[in-house]
Chains A and B, each alone.
Chain A
Amino acid sequence: MTAQLALAQTRNPLGAVRWDLVMRLGLLAIIVALAVVFSITASGFATMQNVENNARQMAVVGILAVAETFVIITAGIDLSVGSLLGLAGIIIALGLSHGLMLPVALALVCGAGIGVGLINGSLISAASLPPFIVTLGMLGILRGLTQIFGNGQQVAYDSPSLTNFAANSTLGLPNIFLVFLAVCLVAAFVLHLTRRGRYMFAIGSNMESARRAGINVRATTLTVYAISGLLAALAGVLLTARQAQGDPNAGTGYELDAIAAAVLGGASLFGARGSIVGTFLGVVLVQIMANGLNLLNFDPQVARILEGALLILFVYLDRWRKPRLAAA
């Protein structure tokens, strides 16, 4: 998949796409350089145990970053994913602790995620409200509901199949990371190879053009926010599974980490630019940096500062792309 996508990009010999590729390769180079430096300087970095830890830790925010990639490509934003993650975690913990079967609880949580996404999408596409405002409102609403449902406390549950799944590995890779990988593969397929995915780019490029070309902008927008909601719910389930309890504060602020990872990976808040490969690299970079600096006994805040600085630097460099002509 990755090779195929890279090929599709290099085939275009021109301007913007080539710069996109340079930026992605630059990101990859930074990741490799950091990995080499940390392997030499930080004992315990280049161990199987640590690689597994990184893989496990990046999965939750990584899935949210994939969700943001969809939304950002349509020139939208979804600030509610962190809160939705928290709500989903509480719902599944409550459901399981009240004796719901695991598949039923999972279906309930996925339905809730899609439902929230459809509400976001409806308010944005049908009522023409700005995505930032709609999802900011939803961020507050969902966090409040989560605290009320969870009574402001951790919710214990007992479901060995769920917690074991999150703790175990398959073929040497943590199951949680494999879920993240699978999400990336499906997302890359949808975004880059299907007609529906192309419509997402078209809407982000020029919504009015897309509408006039006969694209069902409303249905596509609804789909995008529903996907975002579903992925946030999935991330919530994984985090609750990993922590073996529901936490009403889980996911607070994750939406910003997810957006940062997607933007580091080349997604543009103006729409129509972004890729799953790029987002994956963005997620890996943030994770490796935090982990390496932590092993070197830096204050955890140093990683945040560097991440913020890199984000600004990348967006600044991105402006070197061929400047846009007047909007068509």
Chain B
Amino acid sequence: MPNSEANLEQLEVDFQARIDAEERIEPKDWMPEKYRKTVLRQMSQHAHSEVIGMQPEGNWITRAPSLHRKIVLLAKVQDEAGHGLYLYSAAETLGATREELVQLMHEGKAKYSSIFNYPTLTWADIGAIGWLVDGAAIVNQVALQRTSYGPYSRSMIRICKEESFHQRQGYEIMLKLANGSPEQKAMAQDALNRFWEPSLMMFGPTDADSPNSAQSMKWKIKRKSNDELRQAFVDQTIKQIEVLGLEMPSKDIKWNEERGHYDFGELNWDEFFAVIKGNGPCNRQRLAHHKKAHDEGAWVREAARAYEAKKKARAEKAA
């Protein structure tokens, strides 16, 4: 009676016990359908974010101010492509194909991080992205190294190790600009001001507005709540702003003795939901560019396939 209700209930109890014992779930284990769907959605969203995230930075590769900055930026964007690959592969362990996942994003049914729908207007934005956007991503990903799904957890460990230079190179750009000419310093300040709120929103809606979080925490897909992660990021970043000698990006930033944390005021969640719905400054451009690159690369995939067929035919003939 493999499908009886009692049996299913027992499977779910065993599954939760395994999670509570801090054991990882591996691809061939039994898992509740909703767990599979949630992990798959999160991994695909994460993979799409890595790949779409190449666009705002790629925008400055040809205009980087020196050869050194150019090769560093190239190396970083190259890393993002690799990280997308790790995550798509982890997602594929749950039976989805890469083509399906990409298709869902093209149809607007799968999301990516809304931060990448903001434009990179100046060189300082590249500094702000490395420092703040990668910094926020690292806070999130360090927690996810202990996520319950084995392949996801292992890709996070690999990614965190490789990403340690991303934030430092961004901060170094900011440091140079903040100690440069008044114009350069103003540029750094402007980038900080524009990327501050969107970076804090990368952690997702407040816990009160995040209805699926409780189940994800119980299954240990998420290890810390959105608000906890956001606070940790704010607390570590304030000192870094001070060292740059820049002004705080919001007048609401104040040390709160009672909480032992920095307050940072209310975020503009209307904007967050508008961007998620597709109405950010660059949503259409990002998707259109991804589709175009994908379509224009079709001949490469076809040529590789044709070459393989030709090699096989030749080998058969020789045999």
Partners in one complex: no
Which positions in B face A, CB cutoff 8 Å? none
